[in-house]
Structure 1
Amino acid sequence: MKEDFLHYIWKYKKWNGLDLKTTNGEAINITRVGQYLEQAGPDFFNAQIVIGNQKWAGNVEIHLKSSDWYVHHHEKDAAYENVILHVVWEHDVDVFRKNNTEIPVLELKNYVDKAVLNNYQRLLTPKSWIFCEKQLREVDDFVFKNWQERLFFERLERKSKAIYELLEETNNDWEAVLFCMLSKNFGLNTNGEVFLKIAQSIPFSVIRKESFEVENLEALLFGKAALLDSEKEDTYFKDLKFRYFYLLHKYQLESKSEGQLQFFKHRPDNFPTIRLSQLAHLYHIHQNVFSKINSVSSVATIYELFQLSTSAYWENHYQFDKESPKKVKKLSKSFVDLLLINTIIPIQFAYAKSLGKESVDNLIEMLVLVAPEKNAVIDKFTSFGIKAANSFETQSLLQLKNEYCVSGRCLDCAIGMELLKKSS
């Protein structure tokens, strides 16, 4: 059993009858259970309780055992001096305030209906993947849909934190932030962090100034990626290397590379060389990318914006000095979908929020039109009867799994709460 179950019992008054008594036999009448505080200090703030003939206003602390009061050293913390009732599952020791007055105790195990307890134990019994996997399909569709929207909002909030951190680093330059975010996503999971460091190492003012010559953008990106460190006979390689060192001198940039890129296990079209060239072409073709992206409200327009490929050299190369059959390497629709999910939607959300606006409905409408993501987590949900129809739903399911299921936060989850209500 976890304390969050006792929080649930107290918050929603899931006990039998009105004849509550302290462990010393005094009658308890609860007028107000208090405000649930999910932070340091007592669990419920400003409760109102009559114990015996005395009315009390103060805080309520909840533990599995009374002795946890001393295990957690609450006797040394002034924040717990105003606790008027100690609610526990099992009373094993008396607890006293600093002035030696005893804190009244309510032992919940004497009052909780067995059906509620059985349902909790059924939910929290270990399963093969997540606790509620066998009960997911029992959840009311209205509850599930509303919870999905909340989960999606939470996921956007989490993604926004990285955006606001970049905003501070770039002196509130949204174009620079977008460049960093797009760079990271062009690198995918394997090379994303290195791509991000590359973007952060080049002042965006330089990207702006050099965007009229795509070879200069490639030179900066390839050079910072340590792809120009060796010596090769290839004419294009030599030209990029010359440009790189010229630009380093021109803008007084450090020559330090930003990490080791991974080619292994990537499909050739996802090689970092190809992705860096495509990124360079994006900023060569489009000026003011942030302004364009932020004004977009349709998925079709995003697809048009990202209709781009590589330099001519990369049409018959995947690596320097190694020629391959000619192929125009455009961004695929599935790749643009990833950019939409992981960069464009979050940055639109963060920008709107910075202006004090809410744009969640429009963002949901866009993602509803994007195909569902494919990964192991989504496959597992599908196997338990929860099939996502679009990327809005897959993003919600990923938030559910990562932030609730993994840490067993069933009683903070609308699905868990709904399942507890079913038999209680």
Structure 2
Amino acid sequence: MNFPEDFLHYVWQFRSFDYSGLHTVAGESLKIINPGLLNKNAGPDFFHAKIEIDGTTWAGNVEIHLRSSDWLKHHHQKNPAYENVILHVVYEHDAEIKRMDQTVLPVLELKNRISADLIKKYENLFLTLTDFPCIAQIGTVDPLIVDSFLARTLIERFELKTNAVIETLNELNGNWEETFYRFMARNFGFKINALPFEMIAKAVPQHIYSKHKNNPYQIEAMVFGAAGFLTDQFEEEYPRKLKAEFAFLRKKYNIEPVEVSVWKFMRMRPQNFPTIRLAQFAALMVKANHLFSKIMEIKEVNDLRILFEKLPVNDYWKTHYHFKKEAPGVNIQIGKDSVDNILLNTVALFLFAYGKYTATQFYISRAIKLLESLPAEENAITGKFRGAGVKIGHAFASQGILQLKKQYCNEKKCLSCGIGIKILKQA
């Protein structure tokens, strides 16, 4: 017996066993009218079941164990919540079980009713040492079933991310603009520098930039000053001017710079250096105030892209990757892949989160439409699934794949996965 109790839940739920001539271990005839609803919380495993024993119909709950004696090990005999159990389904019957009122609990033993082929399929999934359990079988599953389950995992992923959005929203007293700004700033760090970007967003709230929207130098000074890059002595006019501006603005707004050492440059293409990202971020603050409100109004993907394209980045960065270090021919605009990353991880998320928070399906639908219009992510995980035969045509699917891998494959929850269930059902 090389399987957990969850396997028996699957077997009972989908009646994946030989149920001809069913009888209890006491010899009573047994008919399953309704197996009940799977319960993933405390209490019996299946609620609202209906069975017939020796011609009498019973309605109640079903409890499932590997062995009958597990009832005693789990102390169900002392728990009133189990008094309405009408059938005890076990793989192996090894002990008579009585309810609290001393009536004997009817037992169905499945030991000789589950096919060896089904058990082998299950073991092939769970004992695999590959990147994900069904790597050898997922390509045989109907794409409609795969896509349907990826839609579910995508929603799960965005609902989890929405929790983080709402947590920050509550911290900021319901200010959607500032919440969006915080997450946008973090996204500009592209994982490796996400934390310091978030730190400068906290150091300089968005509404301060709006007061200086007609003075790009002051906005750039606050961004680079808060990031800790204006503490040196400079010979070039541009950084000297930024430093002078920041000295005044720092006192005015009580801005506390982060330590410059928190920024990561190692093993990074110069185009992705945090200094270039900061210059682009400052230019975005110059170009567009109240970003969240604008994004709520824009319906077309191409119009969303325009927000992040052709940013008014200072010409200084055309010849620099860093202060004091010249470099010819620097591309100062955000690349298409980076724009897509922002649209996926911040814009689509906030459309979804706002829709959930306000119970407005319109915004949730816009988020999904945006995901379906963005290219799928290319990474090690999506690459493995593609190699196994899964078609990943857009970001909606790739986000679903990431959630599938994290919450189902890594946790070996094949019996909670629509794809895994289909594989077990296949002949």
TM-score by length of 1: 0.90
Instruction: Verify: 1:173 aligned to 2:213, yes or no.
Output: no
Displacement of 1:256 in angstroms is 5.8
Instruction: Verify: 1:273 aligned to 2:275, yes or no.
Output: yes
Instruction: Verify: 1:126 aligned to 2:134, yes or no.
Output: no
Equivalent of residue 352 in structure 1, options 355, 359, 377: 355
* Contact 2:271-2:330 within 8 A present in 1 as well: no
Give the match for residue 413 of structure 1: 417
**Which string of whole-angstrom CA distances, capped at 9 and with x for unpartnered residues, describes residues 150-192 of structure 1?**
2322222222122111211121111111111111110001111
Give the match for residue 402 of structure 1: 406
* Contact 2:24-2:107 within 8 A present in 1 as well: yes
Displacement of 1:138 in angstroms is 1.0
Moved more, 1-10 or 383-392: 383-392
Instruction: Verify: 1:248 aligned to 2:250, yes or no.
Output: yes
Letter of the structure 2 residue corresponding to residue 106 of structure 1: L
* Contact 2:234-2:324 within 8 A present in 1 as well: yes
Pair 1:109–1:221, CA change in 2 (3 A): farther
Letter of the structure 1 residue corresponding to residue 339 of structure 2: V
Pair 1:274–1:67, CA change in 2 (3 A): farther
**Counterpart-to-counterpart distance in 2, 1:109 and 1:35:** 23
**Counterpart-to-counterpart distance in 2, 1:257 and 1:394:** 36
* Contact 1:309-1:331 within 8 A present in 2 as well: no
Give the match for residue 332 of structure 2: 329
Q: How many residues align?
A: 423
TM-score by length of 2: 0.90
Instruction: Verify: 1:390 aligned to 2:366, yes or no.
Output: no
**Counterpart-to-counterpart distance in 2, 1:18 and 1:381:** 39
Moved more, 281-290 or 258-267: 258-267
**Counterpart-to-counterpart distance in 2, 1:244 and 1:283:** 16
**Which string of whole-angstrom CA distances, capped at 9 and with x for unpartnered residues, describes residues 311-363 of structure 1?**
22222222222222243410111110101111111111111222322245544
Equivalent of residue 26 in structure 1, options 28, 31, 35: 28
* Contact 2:226-2:255 within 8 A present in 1 as well: no
Equivalent of residue 137 in structure 2, options 135, 138, 147: 135
Q: How does 1:23-422 map to 2 (within 5 A)?
A: 23-52=25-54, 55-254=57-256, 257=259, 260-307=262-309, 308=311, 310-359=313-362, 360-422=364-426
**Which string of whole-angstrom CA distances, capped at 9 and with x for unpartnered residues, describes residues 228-276 of structure 1?**
3455555443433443343333234445659711111111111111111
* Contact 1:4-1:411 within 8 A present in 2 as well: yes
Displacement of 1:303 in angstroms is 1.9
Displacement of 1:100 in angstroms is 4.5
SS at match of 1:417: helix
**Counterpart-to-counterpart distance in 2, 1:258 and 1:407:** 39
**Counterpart-to-counterpart distance in 1, 2:124 and 2:329:** 59
**Counterpart-to-counterpart distance in 1, 2:192 and 2:32:** 56
**Counterpart-to-counterpart distance in 1, 2:33 and 2:241:** 79
Displacement of 1:211 in angstroms is 3.4
Displacement of 1:99 in angstroms is 4.5
Pair 1:93–1:310, CA change in 2 (3 A): farther
**Counterpart-to-counterpart distance in 2, 1:147 and 1:102:** 41
**Counterpart-to-counterpart distance in 1, 2:190 and 2:162:** 18
**Counterpart-to-counterpart distance in 2, 1:296 and 1:211:** 21
* Contact 2:88-2:108 within 8 A present in 1 as well: yes
**Counterpart-to-counterpart distance in 2, 1:220 and 1:328:** 23
Displacement of 1:376 in angstroms is 0.5
Equivalent of residue 8 in structure 1, options 3, 7, 10: 10
**Counterpart-to-counterpart distance in 1, 2:410 and 2:281:** 35
Stretches of structure 2 lacking an aligned partner (at least 5 in a row): none
* Contact 1:36-1:43 within 8 A present in 2 as well: yes
Displacement of 1:139 in angstroms is 0.8
Displacement of 1:215 in angstroms is 2.8
Pair 1:287–1:22, CA change in 2 (3 A): same
Pair 1:286–1:112, CA change in 2 (3 A): same
Displacement of 1:217 in angstroms is 2.7
Moved more, 338-347 or 283-292: 283-292
SS at match of 1:58: strand
**Counterpart-to-counterpart distance in 2, 1:225 and 1:331:** 19
